[in-house]
Amino acid sequence: MLIITTAISGSRRKDYLQNLKKYAKQFGKRVKLYDVGQMMLEHSNSIGINLTPENILNAPPSVISAVRSAVFEKIAGELPRELKKNHAVFINIHAMFFWRKVFIRAWDNYYVSQLNPDLFLSFVDDVMSIDIKLKERPQWKKEKMTMNDILLWRNVDTEMTASWAEMHRKPFYSIPSQSNVKLLYRIIFEPGIEKVYVAMPLTNFMGAEGQKEVDRFIEKLEKYFIIFDPREVEMVEQWSPSMRTPRVLHQIVNRDMYWFVKQVDKVIAYFPKAVSSPGVVNELREAHETNKEAWLVYPKGSRVSPFLAYYSNMVFKGPNDLFRFLSPGKIGKKIKRSKSHSRSVAKLTSKGGLKKKNSNAKQKKNKKKSSKKTG
């Protein structure tokens, strides 16, 4: 499998992929990594062109393009052999740079098409973590980026990569750099397993005990699904009010609704306690309106909001109810909407309605008896 990955600088993509390589080796899977940026520096130095990590983006675009093309030609020549030797080959590039407050294209349309990858990935990391990393690097320290700059750069880089995938009709995923490498391993090597985004009312469960409860739920859920956890990127609920600006919050909403929810097969909304959460309602609505399965796990004995129920294909009375329903035979299989919807209706139907149905059946039975006697 050939995979193209992008990420903005400071996103810890290299560390993640090195850890993935080690993890995959434990299961007999071989992974090859191509770092295009590093290869460009090595190639330029070998032919006498002075490109340095600190100032490479100051070089003329024609020079950068020529060096990048030479590197892609080298990779293209090696690929047939490397794809036979390895189970997965990664080519790590950038889609865009944000240099001197200007977006600079960092890709070559010709080679992206020629390589014809099987999968596109964009690594997204916590903006505060990226900010710290960039300030540690001589190349980026002088740019004095704000968090808004970083969020905008991350957004453009991710959307550009998603557009490549769309143009080539290939799968695309946004991968949180803080996620366990098991997430990406399973996406690549266990393609038949359903991908699930777990929606949750984060504002109400930021305490240690609340987080542990969510951890236990997700750990159990991973036996059945590949899980995308929104806690693995920004947790703006932990930020001070002055940092939660409209610009920041708009980016967070866009990330969860149009990156994470979009790329999964199912959304499971988990409420450890009965609380109000407009965010979860909207994530369920997005899943519902894009024809994905939307499941709701709500505390047993608590009254479910009609808005939550309306956008949910299935409603479970607590985690135990959900895990009783799930069985090994259903792992990775789609559950038909008609069955799931009828189960939800059965759960929510009043007892009075069921009694009425039974009562009508009894009346018909008595009528038959009566007519026999008369005859």
Q: Is pLDDT of 59 > 50? A: yes
pLDDT of residue 347: 42
Bridge partners for 105 per DSSP: 96
Could you tell me what percent of the chain has a pLDDT over 70?
85
Say whether both 150 and 178 belong to one domain: yes
pLDDT of residue 339: 35
pTM: 0.83
The overall average pLDDT reported for the chain is 86
Quick check: 43 pLDDT over 60? yes
Is 122 within the bounds of a domain? yes
CATH number at residue 96: 3.40.50.300
Q: Which residue has the higher pLDDT, 113 or 88?
A: 88
* Structure tokens, 283: 């994530």
In a domain, 123, yes or no: yes
Shared-domain flag, residues 147 and 212: no
Q: Are residues 298 and 286 in the same domain?
A: yes
pLDDT at residue number 233: 86
In this prediction, residue 237 carries a pLDDT of: 60
Domain annotation covers residue 254: yes
Of the chain, the percentage scoring pLDDT greater than 90 comes to 71
362 within domain boundaries: no
10 Å CB burial of residue 129 (0-12, 13-18, 19+) is middle
CA atoms within 13 A on the CB side of 152: 11
**Same domain flag for 42 and 170:** yes
Does 360 fall in a domain? no
Does 372 fall in a domain? no
In terms of domains, do 152 and 20 share one?
Answer: yes
pLDDT at 106: 92
Q: Are residues 206 and 280 in the same domain?
A: yes
Q: What is the DSSP letter of 303?
A: P
Burial (CB count <10 Å: 0-12, 13-18, 19+), residue 188:
buried
Q: CB-based burial of residue 14 (10 Å sphere; 0-12 exposed, 13-18 middle, 19+ buried)?
A: middle
Are 159 and 249 found together in one domain?
Answer: no
Same domain, 179 and 205: no
pLDDT bin (cut points 50, 70, 90) of residue 205 is low
**Predicted confidence (pLDDT) at residue 148 exceeds the cutoff of 70:** yes
pLDDT band per the 50, 70, 90 thresholds, residue 204: low
Q: In this model, does residue 218 exceed pLDDT 50? A: yes
Q: Which of 141, 171, 191 is the last residue of a domain?
A: 191
Q: Are residues 147 and 108 in the same domain?
A: yes
C-alpha 356, offset from chain centre: 46
In a domain, 164, yes or no: yes
In a domain, 172, yes or no: yes
Of 158, 191, 224, the last residue of a domain is: 191
How would you classify the pairing of strands 96-99 and 102-105? Answer: antiparallel
pLDDT of residue 133: 95
Looking at the fold, whether 26 and 128 belong to one and the same domain comes out as: yes
Claim to verify: residue 186 and residue 278 sit in the same structural domain: no
Domain of 238, in residue numbers:
192-353
Token readout for 313 is: 């294909």
Do 153 and 209 lie in a common domain? no
- Considering its fold, how many domains does the chain have in total? 2
pLDDT at 62 over 80: yes
* In the predicted structure, residue 348 carries a pLDDT above the cut 50: no
The CATH number given to whatever domain includes residue 292 is 3.40.50.450
Q: Would you place residue 330 in the very low, low, confident or very high pLDDT band (cuts 50, 70, 90)?
A: low
Between 368 and 172, the higher pLDDT residue = 172
Instruction: Please report which confidence band the pLDDT of residue 220 belongs to, taking 50, 70 and 90 as the band edges.
Output: very high
DSSP 191: T
Reported confidence tier of residue 211, pLDDT bands at 50, 70, 90? confident
pLDDT at residue 304, rounded to an integer: 92
Domain boundary among 191, 208, 237: 191
